[in-house]
Amino acid sequence: MRKRSILIFFIFISSIAFAQEFPSEIWHKGKLVLLSEDTIVGNLKYDLKNDLVQVNVQNVMQTYSARKILYFEIFDETIESYRHFYALPYQVQANYEVPILFEVLYEGKLSLLCREEIVTESAPQYNSYPYSNYYGNSPYSQTRARLSYKYYFFDEREGIRNYNLKKSELLTFFNKNQQQVKQYIKKNNLKYDRMRDLVRITAYYNALLDS
C-alpha cells in the first residue's frame, strides 16, 4: 500500500505546471497613441496573440485592435525598463497585409523587432525519491511555460522580414559590410539566437552604415 501511494504521488506531481506570471498577463503603466492621434495614459495590458491592447483609465476599460493603434509604450516592472511597440503592416498572405503589433528592440536604418509568445512544453524528469529503487529509474513528465520570441528585421526598402534563428541566415540581413559583421560576431562571441546579442549586432551594423 505504501509503494502504491508513493507512485500515485509522483504521477500527481508530474501533472502540475508551475505557476508563473508573464509580462503579457499583468498590467503596466504606460500610454497608447491611436491613429487618430489621441493619446491615452493609464494601465495597459497587451495581447500579441490577438493583436489587442487593453487600457484601464480610472477603472474604465477600453480595448483597441492593432488597426486603431499607432504605437504604445509601457514600463515593465518585471525587467525595470520601458518597452515600445508599434502597429506595422505585415504581409500574412500574398498581396495581403494587416497591421500587427511588434516590439521594437532597436530602431535604426535597419531595425530589430520581435513578438513574444508563451509556449508550454513537457520536459522528462527522473524520480529521485529514496524509494525509487522499488520502481526503477522511470521518467515522468513535468510541464512548464516559458517565453519564446520571434524576431524580424525591418528597413524601408525590404519591409518586415522574418528571421528564423538560423545562423546561416543572419548575415543575409546585412547587405553591406557582411564580412565586418561576421568578424564582430566572432570576436565578441555573440549568439545568433540570443536577444541581447541580436541587439548588439544590429546596433553595430547601423553604426557601420552611419560611418
Q: What is the pLDDT of residues 122-150, one digit of tens each?
A: 767 665 555 455 555 556 667 888 899 99
The yes-or-no verdict on residue 49 having pLDDT over 70 is yes
| Sole residue written with cell 495581447 | 47
- Structure confidence by residue, pLDDT tens digits, 64-96: 999 999 999 999 999 999 999 999 999 888 888
CA 106, 111, 116, 122 dihedral sign is negative
Q: What is the pLDDT of residue 89?
A: 94
| Stretch (H or E) spanning 185 | helix 178-187
Look at residue 41 and give its three-state secondary structure: strand
- CA–CA distance, 28 with 70 (Å, rounded to integer): 18
Look at residue 154 and give its three-state secondary structure: strand
The yes-or-no verdict on residue 6 having pLDDT over 70 is no
Q: What is the pLDDT of residue 12?
A: 38
The pTM of the full predicted model, rounded to 2 decimals, is: 0.81
Amino acid identity, position 139: P
Which of the residue ranges 92-106, 134-148, 178-192 would you say has the lowest mean pLDDT?
134-148
